[in-house]
Amino acid sequence: MEKNLILIPLLPLIGFLINGIFGKKLPKNVVGALGTLVVFGSFILSLLAFLEVRESGQALSHTAFTWMQIAGLKFDIAFLADQLSTQMMLIITGIGSLIHLYSIGYMHKDEGFYKFFAYLNLFIFSMLLLVMGSNYLLLFFGWEGVGLCSYLLIGFWYQNLEYGKAARKAFVMNRIGDLGLMLGLFMLLQHAGSLEYKEVMASLSTLSTEKAACIGLLLFVGATGKSAQIPLYTWLPDAMAGPTPVSALIHAATMVTAGIYLIVRSSALYSMVPEVLEIIGYVGLATALFAGLIAIRQNDIKKVLAYSTVSQLGFMFVALGVGAYSTAMFHLTTHAFFKALMFLGSGSVIHAMGGEQDIRKMGGLAKKLKITHLTFLVGTLAIIGFPLTSGFFSKDEILAKVYEHSPIMWGLLLLASAITAFYMLRMFFLTFHGSFRGTHDQEHHLHESPISMTLPLMVLAVLSLAGGFLNVPEFISEGSEHLHTWLNSVVTYVSGRHHLDHSTEWMLMGVASALALIILVSTYVVYVSKKSTAAEDDQLTGIQKWMNNKFYIDELYQSVVQKPIEAISNLGYNIIDRGIIDGSVNFIGKSVEVAGNALRRIQNGNVEYYLLYMVLGIFFLLVFKFVL
């Protein structure tokens, strides 16, 4: 298997090349089948790699070739499939192939069908590089690659100017984070002389704490960009401009988790500096709460999901912040399941509604879209932490770990999860229950999606239900913390953390579940029994208005960052560009023109004058030679 590791990213690349180059000529079902099959092939190979790692307990690695060699630095195209990588690979290729399958149905009317699959394959390729590379350079390569694909896919319907702008915003926001990542990598390179994980981790013992903190913070800046944390989160909700499968694959399940992966991968570094972890935890907590508050007053079905993604990513960062890397990975996995499920479900809803995304115009869809409704219900239950669903276990574990660390953070996080439960249920009930509020045409048009779309939904629903059993807490069943054990060999924990006793854990779990149930019942009462609907934008007052407008963060960024830069650029444009550069260029042009006009008289075509000039020229040459 070691030799075949390269095939895993290579297959989607081949798919990308074929679809990208010949896709226009190929029939749609060939393009779709090819795009899906290559990813599925990667999934099978990843599964084989996973089984092998599981059996031997040893990481697989394979160096394909040396990429570049400059002045003592050597970078290889080398792949590593350890416990962490294989987990990510399985998520990426598994959910990826489901979403490819879904896209066949969802995109079948789109003109850019082949382009869409080419981009998706390219994305899978980049993402696999990101998680499979055995050095930070390949990680960075994949990191940029997924950023590019994200840009391309958000702006997939580029004829719409707003979508193009959203794509650009995502790209620029990501660049800010990338700068941090790059600086961090430069510092690592300077210290370790290599970017290979193995060598970097080996050199950590000689790293000073200040430097480690610095690197850790810089890498975290990169992670906030990609994983949409405060302050760089604003691109993710706008990224919903892309087609829904893209939102599911890139902006919920895989790409945005790259930041988590980066930090887990560098866990040895972060465990050296608990202060940095503390910062990460607080940033994550703030994001979880803040995004949740915004989500409460959003009426666009995808926007709600987007903010909930930001919020859930915040949960994961909180878990990282308290040093519970495997817990973060656990939540990452379950979140990938249920968030992909819900995005795909929302795609199915949008598909049925003929492009309508406003939940105020939906309602009562449960009768027409039975499969979508049921699977969406599963996803919603999972995210609110309904007992025994996947989200219940992972969220609960995060809460428990946070309680170990600090009860105050626990309280705030519990509040965040209550908010999550509230807005998710609000969206769910408004969409699927009550009476239909859309136009008559839409009501007539309502239909269940084709099998290629509902099949991924069902698979994901099963995963969302059962995913929690990957890692059942120790106090329920001894030795069933599979994921925790699985990742033990690749992550380094902060030493000296104590554990809670079982009764406390039971109590925490009870509190969280009770809260989820209370909110479930109360929202049901509010939105189904009393049939209240979301208020129109102009009826909102005070804090609600602020929440509806996303706390004016975009406007804040605009006036604090964008406006001054524009002003400076304008100044530079007018003074330096127009004044100095254009001025000097024009001056040279003008002077040549004037001189040419004057010297034109010399060129009278008469040989004797030319001879005279020649003699004078020789004269001056000799003067320079002899006299001067």
The correct pick among 567, 575, 585, 618 for binding other proteins (CB under 8 A) is 618
- Distance of closest approach, residue 616 Cβ to other proteins, in angstroms: 5
The span of 121-129, 305-313, 459-467, 599-607 binding other proteins (CB under 8 A) equals 599-607
In this complex, which beta carbon is closest to other proteins, that of residue 594 or of residue 614?
A: 614
In this complex, which beta carbon is closest to other proteins, that of residue 3 or of residue 600?
A: 600
In terms of C-beta distances under 8 Å and separation of at least 24 residues, what long-range contacts does 367-373 make, across chains too? Answer: 368/446, 368/447, 368/448, 369/432, 369/446, 369/447, 369/448, 369/449, 370/448, 371/448, 371/449, 371/454, 371/457, 371/458, 372/345, 372/348, 372/448, 372/449, 372/454, 372/457, 373/432
- Distance of closest approach, residue 604 Cβ to other proteins, in angstroms: 6
In this complex, which beta carbon is closest to other proteins, that of residue 575 or of residue 622?
A: 622
In this complex, which beta carbon is closest to other proteins, that of residue 521 or of residue 618?
A: 618
Q: Where are the alpha helices (DSSP H) in 57-112?
A: 83-106
Q: Which of 265, 260, 245, 129 is nearest to 197 (CA)?
A: 265
Residues 332-361 interacting with other proteins (rule: CB under 8 A):
none
**Position 161 contacts other proteins (CB under 8 A):** no
In this complex, which beta carbon is closest to other proteins, that of residue 64 or of residue 612?
A: 612
CA dist., res. 418 & res. 512, Å (int):
8
The span of 320-328, 513-521, 582-590, 608-616 binding other proteins (CB under 8 A) equals 608-616
CA dist., res. 5 & res. 7, Å (int):
5
**Position 607 contacts other proteins (CB under 8 A):** yes
Q: Are 477 and 502 in contact (CB under 8 A)?
A: no
CA dist., res. 551 & res. 15, Å (int):
42
In this complex, which beta carbon is closest to other proteins, that of residue 65 or of residue 626?
A: 626
The correct pick among 44, 68, 560, 615 for binding other proteins (CB under 8 A) is 615
- Distance of closest approach, residue 609 Cβ to other proteins, in angstroms: 8
**Position 628 contacts other proteins (CB under 8 A):** no
**Paired residues of 60 in beta bridges:** 81
Q: Which stretches does DSSP call E strand in 490-619?
A: none
State which amino acid sits at residue 7.
L
**Position 543 contacts other proteins (CB under 8 A):** no
CA dist., res. 14 & res. 23, Å (int):
12
The span of 38-46, 58-66, 519-527, 606-614 binding other proteins (CB under 8 A) equals 606-614
In this complex, which beta carbon is closest to other proteins, that of residue 161 or of residue 607?
A: 607
**Position 608 contacts other proteins (CB under 8 A):** yes
- Distance of closest approach, residue 596 Cβ to other proteins, in angstroms: 14
- Distance of closest approach, residue 608 Cβ to other proteins, in angstroms: 6
**Position 596 contacts other proteins (CB under 8 A):** no
Residues 429-448 interacting with other proteins (rule: CB under 8 A):
none
The span of 345-353, 392-400, 424-432, 598-606 binding other proteins (CB under 8 A) equals 598-606
Tell me which DSSP letter residue 417 carries: H
In this complex, which beta carbon is closest to other proteins, that of residue 552 or of residue 619?
A: 619
Residues 6+ apart with CB under 8 A from 374: 461
- Distance of closest approach, residue 612 Cβ to other proteins, in angstroms: 6
**Position 604 contacts other proteins (CB under 8 A):** yes
C-alpha neighbours within 13 Å on the C-beta side of residue 557: 13
Rounded to the nearest angstrom, the gap between the alpha carbon of residue 37 and the centroid of all alpha carbons in its chain is: 24
Query: By rule CB under 8 A, what string of x and - marks binding of each residue 551-590 to other proteins?
Result: ----------------------------------------
- Distance of closest approach, residue 597 Cβ to other proteins, in angstroms: 15
Q: What angle do CA 9, 15, 21 make, to 5 degrees?
A: 130
**Paired residues of 73 in beta bridges:** 70
- Distance of closest approach, residue 590 Cβ to other proteins, in angstroms: 25
Rounded to the nearest angstrom, the gap between the alpha carbon of residue 624 and the centroid of all alpha carbons in its chain is: 70
- Distance of closest approach, residue 620 Cβ to other proteins, in angstroms: 9
Q: Which of 438, 437, 303, 459 is nearest to 371 (CA)?
A: 459
Q: Are 346 and 356 in contact (CB under 8 A)?
A: no
**Position 478 contacts other proteins (CB under 8 A):** no
**Paired residues of 68 in beta bridges:** 75
C-alpha neighbours within 13 Å on the C-beta side of residue 525: 5
**Position 610 contacts other proteins (CB under 8 A):** yes
In terms of C-beta distances under 8 Å and separation of at least 24 residues, what long-range contacts does 22-27 make, across chains too? Answer: 23/113, 23/114, 23/115, 23/117, 23/118, 24/114, 26/114
- Distance of closest approach, residue 627 Cβ to other proteins, in angstroms: 6
Dihedral sign from CA coordinates of 237, 242, 248, 249: negative
In this complex, which beta carbon is closest to other proteins, that of residue 21 or of residue 612?
A: 612
- Distance of closest approach, residue 598 Cβ to other proteins, in angstroms: 16
**Two tokens, residue 530:** 């009393």
Q: How many residues bind other proteins (CB under 8 A)?
A: 18
State which amino acid sits at residue 548.
N
Residues 106-145 interacting with other proteins (rule: CB under 8 A):
none
- Distance of closest approach, residue 599 Cβ to other proteins, in angstroms: 13
The span of 194-202, 267-275, 543-551, 614-622 binding other proteins (CB under 8 A) equals 614-622
State which amino acid sits at residue 186.
F
* Residue ranges binding other proteins (CB under 8 A): 603-608, 610-612, 615-616, 618-619, 622-623, 625-627
